[in-house]
Amino acid sequence: MPKLAFPSGLYAITPETADTARLLAQVEAALAGGAAAVQYRDKSGDVARRHEQASELLALCQRFNAPLIINDDLRLADLCGADGVHLGRDDGSVAKARVILGPDKFIGASCYQSLELARAAQDEGADYIAFGSFYPSATKPQAMRVETALLHAARSAIHVPIVAIGGITPVNAAALLDAGADSLAVLSALFDAPDIRAAAHAFKPLFVSEPED
């Protein structure tokens, strides 16, 4: 059976925490609210914690039939059997990741503000590419801003799913989807919300097509 395309919808980016039980509860709430995929993001040097959290998140995501992607750590993605890896500019090549993970795993690539990087990642075999930051982001306040015109340009040049990231909320998300994004990567508007399940559910109408007459 051929590998399915990376799912469109809400792409939940996990907060960094040493409290594994709390992390699992937060991600479960996001999945219950409709998150289509999860990216485990932890920049700490705690190898044991990262492996434990990734492994437990994978089991949780499997219950909801949602892929778990590991941010920036190809070795961890391989060791825990995650559904894929997301690579930044300095995290190695898509081609190398494909050799290690094989044909059935998702490989995503951050392309920042660059259509050229997106084309190169696609040519190497990326399953999706990500652009951002589109709005001010508490997670990466120094990130360079991207205009929605890039999504319009990418829509005709890129043939894999496009993920938008950076300060996205249910209020400002529609413009990104209208411009060509397939998925929305969200951290703060999801995991900083008092009700994570409700926050995830608030994105769902953005991805539901209107019925035809």
Cα torsion 199, 140, 76, 129: sign: positive
**C-alpha angle 178/183/189, rounded to 5°?**
95
Q: Which of 110, 102, 108 is nearest to 81 (CA)?
A: 102
Active site residue 197: no
Q: Which of 50, 105, 110, 133 is catalytic?
A: 110
Helix (H) or strand (E) holding 121: helix 115-124
- Contact of 201 with 169, CB cutoff 8 Å: no
50 is catalytic: no
* Of residues 27, 32, 26, 36, the one with CA closest to residue 207: 36
Query: Is 96 a catalytic site residue?
Result: no
Contact between 15 and 187 under an 8 Å Cβ cutoff? The reply is yes
- Of 49, 96, 119, 140, which one is the catalytic site residue? 140
| Pick from 168, 140, 144: nearest CA to 43 | 140
Q: Which residues are catalytic?
A: 41, 110, 140
